[in-house]
Structure 1
Amino acid sequence: MTDPHRLAFAPADADALPLHVVRQEDAGDFLAGQPLAARTWLEAQGWTGAAGDPVLLAGDGGAVAGAVMGLGDATARARQRFAVARAAAKLPAGVWTLKGDLTAEERDEAALGWLLAGYRFDRYRSTKAPGARLVAPDGCDARRIEVIANAEALTRDLINTPAADMGPAELQAAVVAMAERHAARLTCILGDDLLAQNLPMIHAVGRASPRAPRLLDLRWGDSGPSVTLVGKGVCFDTGGLDLKPASGLLLMKKDMGGAATVIGLAEMIMATRLPVRLRVLIPAVENAVSGNAMRPRDILTSRKGLTVEVNNTDAEGRLVLADAMALACEDAPDLLVTMATLTGAARVALGADLPPYYTDDDTVAQALDQAARRVRDPVWRMPFWDAYEPQIEPGIADLDNAPGGGMAGSITAALFLRRFADAPRYVHFDIYCNQISDAPARPKGGVGQGARALFAALPAVLGV
């Protein structure tokens, strides 16, 4: 799995070429301040500061002397994240340094985007990373940005790995490696021991697969407020007996994206030594089909004691999360977070790039919204809409895992999970974890969502 230090800045003492980044509204002043040859060349290229690829500048003898890149106007800057990362793939190999009147947030975004532009998933095919490297910009916390970039690379590697090579055991191996890096404590409840230890819904979802279900339980830190992260680790989701169509199976290797994102977030927390008591719970299962698979209309009794009617075996993620959440809340964490690739309804509502989150705590929501904008990791608050609670109450059992009607699916899933969240502060993220097409710093494929926003918000939320 990924080297936690593979994405790194160039040495600060390297002989670096300048990359001038310029807002469109500042393009005139920038041109006026350039030597005649450079100004003439840029004007001949039609450079106006509009968003686009960098333009090379020539020095004595025709050698590359630097480059200029337009950031566009305010509308363009709002529409595209990590614009400067485009330069990493376009500039010639060598060491570069950023020049320009950037805010602290723009500088950090550019630095992180440049590192993320170097990500390649090369487990099955050799690929070459860009040769243009960046010196960490003055004023940025270089180590913190490297930690975030490599944690995101770890998340992407886990999601991108096909299910044949990323089952529950392999997901456990990734957590073991992380625990060893940070001297964390890890336990695993495996197979039928899930029943003995009263985790029946995790067992019910995973029992049909020959790859044994398990609950991974990592703990780190001995002081500070307690944070528990619960990530959905469904390593492949056939839909169970409510089998998905062929088209619906194509992305199901990413159904452990919640676990992968939680692992990346935990890596950020531990690598930066955030003063918290961290717990990570990952129910790792494969939702398969066999003679002992759970059936539609089965009624399961959860760890919390609530009964659940299974009205769709393809709504399995909330079942495994519920048992893990009940276990988490027995320790009364100060903050409980769930991350899961849970519903298609979230994508219908907000699309692939904007994951919803749910919380009843306005202070947490304010901190998250501010952090998300600051670090360009967009999330959007959705409501725990109490009026929909009757939809998840089937009558024959306490809860319905898949209420009919076809509306508000992300909200009713969140309401289901809230029934198991006996914590003073709870946040649920319904993430997608898939980049549909290439974008700056985000190649097509697996991607983390919400982790950087939450990581940036934690100090304000927890007072650390």
Structure 2
Amino acid sequence: MTPNFADQAQPSRPLHVVAADNLDAWLAAQPPEIATWLRDGGFRAALGEVMLLPGGSGSVAGAAIGLGTPASRARQRFGLARAVSSLPAGAWHFEGLPADMATETALGWQLAQYRFDRYRPADRTAPQLKCPEGVDEALVLAMAEGECLTRDLINTPAADMGPAELEAAFLALADRFGAATQVVQGPDLEEGFPMIHAVGKGSDRAPRLLSLRWGQTGPSLTLVGKGVCFDTGGLNLKPSSGMQLMKKDMGGAATVMGLALMIMRLGLPIRLRVIVPAVENSVSGRAMRPKDILRSRKGLTVEVNDTDAEGRLVLGDALAWAAEENPELLVSMATLTGAARVAVGPDLAPYFTDDDSMARALEAGARAGADPVWRLPFHTPYESVIEPGIADLDNAPGFGFAGSITAALFLRRFADHPRYMHFDIYGHTPTDAPARPKGGVGQGARALLFALPDMLGL
């Protein structure tokens, strides 16, 4: 879908925003027939509660939507986006929308219209919203389009989103904005990026490394996203239940591509580079084996103690490549560990950084973008856990604790950069929520977008 707002000149119906603690006063100010209609209908102004208002000849004249209470709004983002599934098609505009909620509400409305319709057409026409007063329309539409790209990529089954198809989507994104591209594969990949090759060589769908560059001036930002298009676990085969969501194992790549779209569409004054190792982790006679020792682009050796811990291997080579240029900010995103989900659940994006000022900027960006994050530590005392003794590093230490932290420490060895930030995202909404239908979802991208001015001095 292409996010868009209704034309401001188009006739539209009002959507009255009513706070629960102001309901009686608001009803008293309405025409008696409307107040009676809402009271008899049991309208309580709960967050996202919608009641249509009657017009002449049985038409819909407008609607009331509950703003709820401060406590209910704190418990749920995008609560007013519930209106999208309750209103008839046509143009609508808000009346009484608090100014401090306008941007979140406008964005939530756009995101709530998302439907993954590649295999089945959408079952209804969504209502359109006029952009609320004071909202940066270009910013909201850029964020919404970037998120829709991320969701589409994650939701596409692996049969139609392998390394080659991810490459095609990557090149299409670059072409749209005039970005320069590079694709490394075959002997060049095997020689220059041996861990990416080792993970992907077990599949008939050849691995590759994708790179785009955009922007000629300004500070440099490099985004690295894990592009494991499907993860069987390799020879350490996952059980059937463990493969059900593995089409989303390229969620890091999808998220950095969505963020790149936002940045390029907004024309931010930076030099952007995006790197995606695109592979499939499969089972075959060519697949890497437990206890293999891999050499990396950085020169470090890695003992493979679990072929199902492949994401950090492909990211290791990609991060080493990114760090060779010493960008002013280096960020990686990956659906990396189950330990992160155990720690913070599916709704939070845990992140790691050694830079406190970047953490403060990101936390502020998360609030501005309605994109919650949570900081976890690069706990240096755990470094010894990722050192197996017969190689420099262990890709799956048997420590039994702090799995997300030890994975992040592994990646930090390859990034080797003072301004490095890593996100261990989930990339999936397990149940329908306002503006977040069940399925693929971006995490951390909007928080970063809002934080970039502080992080890069824009």
Instruction: Provide TM-score, normalisation by structure 1.
Output: 0.97
Name the CA distance, whole Å, in 2 between partners of 1:23 and 1:404: 53
Q: Equivalent residue for 2:65?
A: 69
AA aligned opposite 1:427: M
Alignment deviations for residues 236-255 of structure 1 (CA, whole Å, 9 cap, x no partner):
00101100001001110100
Provide the rounded CA distance (Å) in 1 between the counterparts of 2:383 and 2:117. 46
**Inter-partner Cα distance in structure 2 for 1:332 and 1:243:** 37
Please give the secondary structure, in 2, of the residue aligned with 1:295. Answer: coil
Measure, in 1, the Cα distance between the counterparts of 2:72 and 2:21: 12
Which one of 149, 164, 172 corresponds to residue 169 of structure 1? 164
Do 2:47 and 2:80's aligned partners in 1 also have CA atoms closer than 8 Å?
no
Instruction: After TM superposition, give the deviation of residue 214 of structure 1 in Å.
Output: 0.5
The answer for the alignment partner of 2:278 in structure 1 is 284
Partner of 1:360: 354
* Pairing 1:215–2:237 present: no
Corresponding residue to 2:149 among 146, 154, 158: 154
- SS of 1:205's equivalent in the other structure is helix
Number of the residue aligned with 1:240: 234
What CA distance in whole angstroms lies between the structure 2 residues aligned with 1:131 and 1:386?
50
- What is the alpha-carbon distance in structure 1 between the residues aligned to residue 369 and residue 377 of structure 2? 23
Taking structure 1 as reference, are residues 157 and 129 closer, same or farther at Cα in structure 2, changes over 3 Å only? farther
The counterpart of 2:249, out of the listed 240, 246, 255, is 255
Query: How far apart in 1 are the matches of 2:91 and 2:271?
Result: 39
1:295 to 289, 301, 310: 289
Q: Larger deviation: 224-233 or 290-299? A: 290-299
| Partner SS, residue 65 of structure 1 | strand
Distance in structure 2 (CA, Å) of the matches to 1:44 and 1:298: 71
AA aligned to 2:359 is A
1:101 Cα shift? Answer: 4.1
The one-letter amino acid paired with 1:301 is R
Q: Secondary structure at the match of 1:419?
A: helix
Q: Quick check: 1:334–1:423 contact (8 Å CA) kept in 2? A: no
- Once the 2 structures are TM-superposed, how far is the Cα of residue 437 of structure 1 from its aligned partner? 1.0
- Helix, strand or coil: the match of 2:94? strand
Q: Partners of 1:239 and 1:308 in 2: how far apart?
A: 17
> Percent identity over the alignment?
63
Aligned pairs (5 A) from 1:40-59: 40-59=36-55
* Local SS of the residue matching 1:336: strand
Contact 2:354 2:418 in 1 (8 A): no
Asked if the contact 2:298–2:317 (Cα under 8 Å) also holds between the matched residues in 1, the reply is: yes
Contact 1:212/1:285, CA 8 A, preserved across alignment: yes
| Alignment match, 1:442 | 436
Residue of structure 2 in register with 1:32 after alignment: 28
Stretches of structure 2 that go unaligned for 5 or more consecutive residues are none
Partner of 1:401: 395
Q: Which residue of 2 aligns with 1:18?
A: 14
Query: CA–CA distance in 1 between the matches of 2:388 and 2:5?
Result: 55
Preserved contact between residue 48 and residue 81 of structure 2 (Cα < 8 Å): no
Query: Would you say the 8 A contact 1:334–1:424 is kept in 2?
Result: no
Q: Which residue of 2 aligns with 1:84?
A: 80
Distance verdict in 2 for CA 1:138–1:146, change over 3 Å: same
Give me the whole-angstrom Cα distance separating, in 2, the residues matched to 1:100 and 1:265. 32
The question of whether the paired residues in 1 share the 8 Å contact of 2:224 and 2:253 is answered with: yes
Shift of 1:195: 2.2
Query: What is the match of residue 220 of structure 2?
Result: 226
Distance in 2 of aligned mates of 1:27 and 1:305: 66
Q: CA deviation at 1:146?
A: 1.2
Kindly tell me the number of residue pairs found equivalent between the two proteins.
Answer: 458
Q: Is residue 116 of structure 1 aligned with residue 74 of structure 2?
A: no
- State the Cα distance separating 1:49 from its structure 2 match: 2.0
Is the CA contact 2:50–2:63 (under 8 Å) kept in the aligned structure 1? yes
Contact residue 48 and residue 83 of structure 2 kept, 8 A: no
Alignment partners' CA distance in 2, 1:380 and 1:441 = 21
The secondary structure found in structure 2 opposite 1:210 is: coil
Deviation at 1:129, TM superposition (A): 4.3
Gaps spanning 5+ residues in structure 1: where? Answer: none
Q: Per the alignment, in what secondary structure is the counterpart of residue 124 of structure 1? A: coil
Alignment partner, residue 271 of structure 1: 265
Tell me, yes or no, if the aligned pair for 1:335 and 1:425 is still in contact at 8 Å: yes
Give the TM-score normalised by structure 2: 0.98
